[in-house]
Structure 1
Amino acid sequence: MSVTSDLTVIMKQEVGKAAAAKVKSDSVVGLGTGSTTAYAIEYIGERLRSGDLKNIVGITTSFQGEVLARKYNIPLTTLDVVDHIDIAIDGADEVDPQKNLIKGGGAAHTQEKLVDSLAAQFIVVVDSNKLVDKLGSTFLLPVEVIPKAVMPVMRRLEQLGGKPELRMGIRKAGPVVTDQGNLVIDVKFDSIDDPATLEMTINNIPGVLENGLFVGVADLILVGEIIDGKAVVREF
């Protein structure tokens, strides 16, 4: 492992730790998906084990989060049982200056949006290369669709100016299947000038379950950076 990749791991750990430090006892916590969020889940587990944190329950946004929460002995509940979420911690694939996001690199954006939108405080954990001037600059927009609707939805996305592609599995024959049993279309837009309108327009296409635009949901962005050979976390 190179020094840079070592530092990248340390940076992700520091961002995860900074997010975990914001969790208070007696709270319901949304536990997101992704490599940086995984460290936050680990550190929440450590705080529970040490007694620094008491009486919390987690709600996960993916099977990955569920596995990690059980590994670190974080009690879990569901949205059927609780009537609120105090804080949610999750990653993002892109963050713009208005704190709007593109999420869905892990194909969990439907459950993520459900949990993150319900949270009184939604904290996003990212490294600085996820910061962009405009959404869609570096990352394709994921759209979750029911399997029967793939072709009609792709045609409609083309009419909206997008270049859609069905996400295929890695080390799996065929397409990626979400935790809900649906498929994901990744869409390249040359420019997403109005994320709020595009989010609603895509979600109104019959057969679309949810897309990866998160507009006006994030409260706090914790950004990890490597400055002068050190891992640093700043709030944005």
Structure 2
Amino acid sequence: MSAEQERRKQQAAELAVKQIEESMIVGLGTGSTADLVTKRLAEQVAEGFDVIGVPTSRKTAELAGSLGIPLRDLQDVAHIDLTIDGADEIQPGTLFALKGAGGALLREKLVALDSSKVILVVDDTKIVDLIGNNFAVPVEVVQFGWRVPARGLGALGATIEMRLDPVTGQPFVTDNDNYVLDAAFGPIGDPNQLSRRVKEITGVIEHGLFVGVVDEVIVAGSDGTATLTPDVL
């Protein structure tokens, strides 16, 4: 990533953080863009800003905790006011999103679904006509008998790859002790239908299709930042 791209993403992250109000409970996303949000929020906390963060992964919890942001687990809060996260692909209009390249898709979705508002921060390379255009759909599955959901995904037309840990070369294990299957469907014409059909497969825990979840997307582009809201809910 160029220094200019990084600068634009930083601007978009700062714009998102401006929507955080005093005493809010805030969902903290996972990934490089979400880390920019966490770091900017930590600067405000150091100046006395009162918030509680709910991390979407162990990695985010480690970062936020090291920077002094007070943290709670999802089960320890009644509700989340605002979640800010990143995304791998965004479909304008609907704001359908594809997430999970970092492997935190289950916790990211749980936190998002418990939030009054969900904002995603991306650069303009993540905007696509149809999600699935550039990324496979991450699907979190149980370790035991993982080939069963893999066959089910294949029956839906996906090409399946087991996600591997880049260090060990062994299957990647999520924070929830599950595997991730990357299911390449190509451009997805009906994310609603695919979302339902994937969840019906025995052994599937969750998938990275975020359909009807996102309220706002802040896009960092060469001409500055733009804010997208859904045309169709």
**Alpha-carbon distance in structure 2 between the residues aligned to 1:82 and 1:155:** 38
- For 2:231, the equivalent position in structure 1 comes to none
Q: What does residue 213 of structure 1 align with?
A: 209
Q: Provide the rounded CA distance (Å) in 2 between the counterparts of 1:173 and 1:220.
A: 37
CA distance in 2, matches of 1:15, 1:68: 20
Equivalence for 2:53: 58
Q: Is the 8 A contact 1:96 1:135 kept in 2?
A: yes
Does residue 122 (structure 1) correspond to residue 114 (structure 2)? The answer is no
| Paired position in structure 1 for 2:24 | 27
Over aligned residue pairs, what C-alpha RMSD do you find?
Answer: 1.1
* 2:42 maps to 1:45: yes
1:70 aligns with 2:62: no
Q: Find the aligned partners of 1:190 and 1:45 in 2 and give their Cα distance.
A: 38
Tell me, yes or no, if the aligned pair for 1:107 and 1:178 is still in contact at 8 Å.
yes
Q: Corresponding residue for 1:178?
A: 174
The yes-or-no answer on 1:5 pairing with 2:2 is yes
Deviation at 1:95? 0.4
Cα distance in 1, alignment partners of residues 74 and 184 from structure 2? 33
Q: What SS does the aligned partner of 1:87 have?
A: strand
CA contact (8 A) 1:134 1:191 kept: yes
Contact 2:136-2:186 within 8 A present in 1 as well: no
Unmatched runs of 5 consecutive residues or more in structure 2: 229-233
Take 1:80 and 1:218, find their aligned partners in 2: how far apart are those partners?
21
Asked if the contact 1:16/1:38 (under 8 Å) is kept, the reply is no
CA distance in 1, matches of 2:91, 2:38: 25
Q: In structure 2, which of residues 77, 98, 117 is the aligned counterpart of residue 82 of structure 1?
A: 77
**Deviation string, structure 1 residues 14-35 (Cα, Å, up to 9, x no partner):** 1111111110001100000011
Alignment TM-score, normalising by the size of structure 2:
0.94
Residue 196 of structure 1 deviates from its aligned partner by 1.1
The separation in 1 between residues aligned to 2:42 and 2:33, in whole angstroms, is 15
Deviations 1:77-134 (A, max 9, x none): 1222211100000010010021010100001000000001111010000000000000
Structure 1 residue 173, shift from structure 2 partner: 2.5
Q: Distance in 1 between matches of 2:187 and 2:34?
A: 28
State the number of aligned residues: 227
Name the residue aligned to 2:89: 94
Stretches of 4+ moved more than 4 A in 1?
none
Give, in angstroms, the shift of residue 191 of structure 1: 3.2
- Equivalent position SS for 1:192: coil
Superposed displacement of residue 167, structure 1:
0.7
> Whole-Å Cα distance in 1 between the matches of residues 74 and 165 of structure 2?
29
Q: 1:15 touches 1:36 (CA, 8 Å); kept in 2? A: no
1:221, 1:202 → 2: CA distance?
A: 25
Residue 202 of structure 1 aligns with an amino acid whose one-letter code is V
C-alpha distance in 1 between matches for 2:177 and 2:41: 30
